[in-house]
A and B are shown apart, each in its own frame.
Chain A
Amino acid sequence: MSTVTSSPASSVASRLRAVSPRLAIPAGSTIGPIVAFLLACAFFTTQSSQFLSGGNLALVIQQVMVVGTLAIGQTLIILTAGIDLSCGAIMAFGGIVMAKLAVDTGMPPLLAIAAGITVCASFGLINGLLVTRVSLPPFIVTLGMLNVAFALTHIYSDEQTISGLPSELTALGNTFPLGRTDVTYGSVLMLVLFAVFAYILGQTAWGKHVYAVGNAPEAARLTGIPVRRRLLAVYTIAGAVYGIAALLLIARTGVGDPKAGQTDNLDSITAVVLGGTSLFGGRGLVIGTLIGALLVGVIRNGLQLMGVPSIYQILITGILVILAVTVDQLSRKRSQR
């Protein structure tokens, strides 16, 4: 395992070793999540005649588009060995800002959207500044920000749900036909965002730096990576992504809802963890997060179609999270012997 030579015979041997049980699931791998996802799909297909249809799968994607998008930002932060408890609250505030500006002040909808995304990015920037300049642990910073954003949401909205939104704000909730299936624009936007961030993390220097900062911050600093600047950028970009999630949320529900997003911080962390990304940072793929989010969506949808009460969905998701974290821990220990 330690030395790999290039002769064809031994490279085959090393590949064989890679699939042997000992190395079956390397840390940060997406193989486990994909297998779980396909198993879940196969199971529900046998249990419900309505499960495996284009319409139903489009529905599942539509149902995970908000948490899935949040989880992109969450993935960035978790890859740097941080965590963000404030994502859902920041999103809720961004959504209220967009809705209120557009409805109450008559601001042009596109400008209101931009303002909402900017507000979310600013929250991310503040998180990042507190983490990098004051050296506070991300858990505490974002716990505080969770409460700040939650309170601001309720103060600014005056506890009122905002309805009667201009059509630009809800446009992403509309559908277009793809074959015989109706697909929402928001689902497509989420998938595009996943592709963009998979590219950034996998194919650019900036992405490599994010992994290095999360995996070995001291080594990253010593090799000349501006660690604090990268962290600051990660938190700010995550904030902007929450802003896009806010737009998707508004589009999905058709209203500005101050009570939205209260469990979305944990739901997004769930998606990231189920996707095989390590909570210890530096390992994982954003595509895994997509699989994780879809897995939760498929379980919820499939159990519902089977007529199983939703409390069991929470039970199963909980068990899967524990499994995923256990796999992460074991595979990390093995590789760090």
Chain B
Amino acid sequence: MYDGGKIITGIIIGLVFLTFPIWYTHGTVPPRPEVKLPVKEKECVEPRPYMKTKHMQLLDLWRDSAVRVGKRSYIAFNGKKYNMSLQNTCMSKDCHAKKTEFCDECHNYTGVVPYCWDCHIEPKKEPKEKPEEKH
């Protein structure tokens, strides 16, 4: 082998870069995220497999409908009517009240940083009064 020193250094640098995930995680398997499901409410606005993979598209639809069209009522798959609102419907007291116990679980695990929170604020832990009644 010619220029063995340089070649081996190059190979080692290449291998270190290419195996980054292996030595970065060094064998620790992170636990699968456990989301806390609401106790009172049994059904979401759409069936569970749909919500699992497509909730962001639904929320996007809601955002466009509520903010741009001004239409806020959503008829769920089971015929129930819902108010299109992330903070007041999705994250109401009886549903996914805590961002840290629901949204963040999977988002942190899969490294998703949704820009919902650029505009929205997560509901307070124990909301004493609804935001509408404030003014």
Pair from one complex:
no
